[in-house]
């Protein structure tokens, strides 16, 4: 007897079958993820240093703006990476 989860997964698979990735696609997706993580780490390193300087000088407004900038840039990098991964998955 199958669980509700297994039945739901079977229905989902029948509606939208999962694509099998080639080794090259997997490699390219891993590269995209690696580059995205590197970019995020670079932004965090730079902006967190700037945030610390702003907080040390007592400029909480500037620190808050830098935190927002870091969050926005992180989301942008992640979004770009997801778009690239999707494009790679859709290649034939």
* Position 9 in a domain: no
* Position 64 in a domain: yes
Domain that holds residue 48: 21-90
- DSSP secondary structure letters along 30-87: HHHHHHHHHHHHHHHHHHHHHHHHHHHTT-HHHHHHHHHHHHHHHHHHHHHHHHHHHH
- According to the model, what pLDDT value does residue 21 have? 85
Number of domains in the chain: 1
* Position 4 in a domain: no
The pLDDT of residue 85 is above 90:
yes
* Position 82 in a domain: yes
Other CB atoms within 10 A of residue 31 CB? 12
pLDDT digits 0-9 by tens, 17-76: 666 888 999 999 999 999 999 999 999 999 999 999 999 999 999 999 999 999 999 999
Other CB atoms within 10 A of residue 28 CB? 18
* Position 49 in a domain: yes
* Position 84 in a domain: yes
């Amino acid at each position: 007897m199958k669980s509700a989860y297994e039945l739901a997964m079977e229905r989902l698979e029948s509606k939208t079958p999962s694509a099998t990735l080639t080794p090259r696609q997997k490699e390219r997706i891993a590269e995209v993820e690696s580059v995205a993580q590197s970019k995020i780490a670079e932004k965090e390193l730079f902006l967190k240093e700037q945030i610390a300087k702003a907080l040390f000088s007592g400029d909480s407004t500037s620190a808050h703006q830098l935190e927002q900038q870091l969050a926005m840039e992180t989301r942008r990098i992640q979004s770009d990476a997801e778009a690239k991964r999707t494009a790679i998955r859709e290649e034939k």
